[in-house]
Amino acid sequence: MSDRSESDQSAAWGRVADDGTVFVRTADGERAVGSWRAGSPSEGLAHFQRRYADLSAEVGLLEKRLTLSAADPAGIAASARRLLDSLDAAAVVGDLAAVRSRLDAVMRATEERRAVLTAERAERNVRLAAAKEELVVEAEGLGRSSDWKTAGDRFRAIAEEFRAVGSLDKRTDSALWRRITAAREEFTRRRTAHFAALDTQRTRSRERKEAIIAQARTLADSSDWAGTTTRYRGLLTEWKSAGRAAKDVDDALWDEFRQVQDAFFARRNAANAERDAEMRENQVKKEQLLAEATELDPADTERSTRRLREIQDRWDAIGRVPRESAASLERQMAAIGDKLRDAADERWEQQSVASSPFVTRLRESVAKLEQKLARAQAAGRTKEIAETEAALATQRSWLAQAES
């Protein structure tokens, strides 16, 4: 009974010709999708039907993504279009018309989603423009202020808030930002003129830079290369924001600061050179392991897989290699693993469906339900008969699907 059901289902959408050519049936007639010589025609059809199931599952994933609020309609549409364009050449056996209809529905849904997003974007732009205009007006007022510290701090906050509000189109954003920039430049010019006459500015700059140099000296002997490098960059940023002292003093302070940094970076570069030498040594070791893995025999899948795991453990224990070689080495090792897995999968696919533990359990379950139904019918238990018949129908359906 199950063999006939499987044969009927297979014949609905395709067939295998005497020469092994596999055809799919479409509204426009039959189309060759491949060839099969590894087993019986029914096994060949089952292989291409599984490919159809994979295709259908991919469409189902697009349909599910459409239900997510954060989904990108353009990306979904591109994926759906790619699948639509591939249908005429798809090497599958199944109801291609149904898949095409589902993909058309996905395309229509993405267009609807795009329209909604466009309307939402327009409403958002109105809100953003109003918020940014408010910041611009405030900045233009601050441009005439003489409260140097408060106004200067507020200008920085306005710049952060302007960016945090969100982006409009480039032309509008640029025009609004130019107004803020003009106001800030007006304020800066006035403040600079005010403080240019004050010698205290140069004194403060000198004191700040002397403090930065003192901090730099405490880091000069550090071996925390990454953390100290980041800290030196931070000190350099602080240095740039400290302002200028008198030219001769400023130049002398800069030379002192640079000498402290140079001493640290010279030590760091020497350590990096030593690390690079170790990484090149690791590369040689991994290349040797790769050569060893290449010799593994895919036909002896069990032994080769065990040996590959041992090689991979040694591989992981070696450590890092130069960045320019790492990706290539990993790809080559992964390719060997894929080759062994493909060989193992091919052996697995050759096993009979009848040996599947899942199918065996389903058959045992159906047999038990049939016995239970017979007992209920003999006893005249109406409710139990109805419940058992429903459960039996479900189990039989599952068994038919598993066997096919």
- How much is the pLDDT for 77? 92
Other Cβ atoms less than 10 A from the Cβ of 10: the count is: 21
H helices of 14-95, in order, are 41-66, 73-86
- Matching residue, tokens 């130019």: 178
Whether the Cβ atoms of residue 96 and residue 90 lie closer than 8 Å to each other: yes
The string of DSSP letters for 61-77 reads HHHHHHTSTT--HHHHH
What 3-state class would DSSP assign to 30?
A: strand
Long-range contacts, stretch 3-11, CB < 8 angstroms, 24+ apart: 3/42, 5/400, 5/403, 5/404, 6/42, 6/46, 6/403, 6/404, 7/42, 9/404, 10/42, 10/45, 10/46, 10/49, 10/93
Return the structure tokens found at 401.
Answer: 């699907």
Q: How far apart are CA 25 and CA 43, in angstroms?
A: 17
Going by C-beta distance under 8 Å and a sequence separation of 6 or more, which residues neighbour residue 356? 402
- How much is the pLDDT for 355? 61
Whether the Cβ atoms of residue 59 and residue 99 lie closer than 8 Å to each other: yes
Whether the Cβ atoms of residue 23 and residue 67 lie closer than 8 Å to each other: no
Whether the Cβ atoms of residue 190 and residue 146 lie closer than 8 Å to each other: yes
- How much is the pLDDT for 1? 40
- How much is the pLDDT for 5? 44
Return the structure tokens found at 43.
Answer: 């096994």
- Dihedral through CA 132, CA 134, CA 137, CA 143, nearest 10? -70
- How much is the pLDDT for 283? 83
103-161 pLDDT, tens per residue? 999 999 998 888 877 777 777 878 888 888 888 998 989 888 889 889 999 889 998 98
Q: How far apart are CA 125 and CA 169, in angstroms?
A: 9
Q: What predicted TM-score, i.e. pTM, was given to this entire model? A: 0.35
312-360 pLDDT, tens per residue? 888 888 878 888 878 888 898 888 888 878 777 676 655 555 567 777 8
- How much is the pLDDT for 354? 53
- Report DSSP state, residue 223: -
- How much is the pLDDT for 351? 54
Other Cβ atoms less than 10 A from the Cβ of 385: the count is: 16
Nearest to 110 by CA among 59, 140, 72: 72
Low-confidence residues of the chain: pLDDT under 70: 1-11, 198, 345, 347-355, 404
What residues are paired with 32 via a beta bridge? 23
Q: What is the CA radius of gyration of the chain?
A: 37
* Strand-strand pairing, 21-26 and 14-16: antiparallel
Other Cβ atoms less than 10 A from the Cβ of 388: the count is: 20
Length of the chain: 404
- How much is the pLDDT for 47? 93
Nearest to 366 by CA among 335, 337, 330, 397: 397
